[in-house]
Amino acid sequence: MSKLVASARKGIKLSQTGVQQYIARRTKTDLTMSGLIKRHHEKVISIDNRNAVKHAAALLNSGSVIALPTDTVYGLACSANNPEAIQKLYDIKGRHELKPVAICVPEVDHLRRWGTVKIGIRIPAFKFIRDVSRSFTLPIALTSANKSASKSTLNVHEFECLWPSLGAVFDGGQLGLSEQQRAASTVIDLSEDGTYSIIRSGVAAEHTIRTVEKYNFFPKHL
């Protein structure tokens, strides 16, 4: 009888040891995951942070790729004058190297400075990215914050899989709720005097057409 009791007590002790080891493993795993999540979210910075613009410009200057809100969808940005940063941008997005990206400048008068060849140039109205562009002073390469062939993103969590590859994610909140918003920006070709052609309709085609026709541009007839 005493042997049975001793055996039972030994079994209970072994079970308790197993439980303790299991709890220790789980605790270690939870702490590790907590650390990963914390580091993961440290990359997300509100655009309302008073140092956000300065930090974004510094990251661009260092060759990092960042994510930030635009007038339409979230974008990935890097220095357009840094070949290594451009390559990193293409790698993150999985974009074919023959597909160009637009460059972003803060003012219309910068077009002559950087637009010496036929190239897509964007002058955003969204305050944060425009302030970043002014602070950085050089042109910014800009494309949508998603993997190639995936839908455009309207909040930072929709491209969370890209966060580990980014220098920072600047959060401007939800940019829209409709699927139409995902159509991204309108792209228009003004490379020939007095004419225009719509390359991508996007979300502002009608407004864009009204604007250019107001200044005596006419549709290009192929």
Which pLDDT value is given to residue 37?
Answer: 41
Strands 102-104 and 74-79, how do they pair?
A: unpaired
* pLDDT tens series, the chain, 222 aa: 554 444 444 444 444 555 455 445 554 544 443 444 445 578 999 999 999 999 999 999 999 999 999 998 999 999 999 999 999 999 999 998 888 888 888 877 766 666 556 777 888 889 999 999 999 989 999 999 999 989 999 999 999 999 999 999 999 999 988 777 777 778 878 778 888 888 878 777 788 888 888 888 888 875
Specify the pairing of strand 102-104 against strand 121-122: parallel
Q: What is the DSSP letter of 38?
A: H
Q: For residue 206, what pLDDT is reported?
A: 85
**pLDDT given at position 181:** 72
Asked whether the beta carbons of 103 and 119 are under 8 A apart, the reply is yes
Question: Which is it for strands 195-200 and 218-219: parallel, antiparallel or unpaired?
Answer: parallel
The superfamily in CATH containing domain 44-184 is: DHBP synthase (3.90.870.10)
DSSP classification of residue 107: S
Amino acid (1-letter code) at residue 8:
A
From the number of C-beta atoms within 10 Å of its C-beta (0-12, 13-18, 19+), residue 210 rates as exposed
The confidence score (pLDDT) of residue 191 equals 79
Stated pTM of the model: 0.74
Alpha-carbon gap, residue 1 to 204, rounded angstroms: 87
> Roughly how many angstroms between the first and final C-alpha of the chain, as a whole number?
101
Chain segment 67-93, per-residue pLDDT in tens: 999 998 999 999 999 999 999 999 999
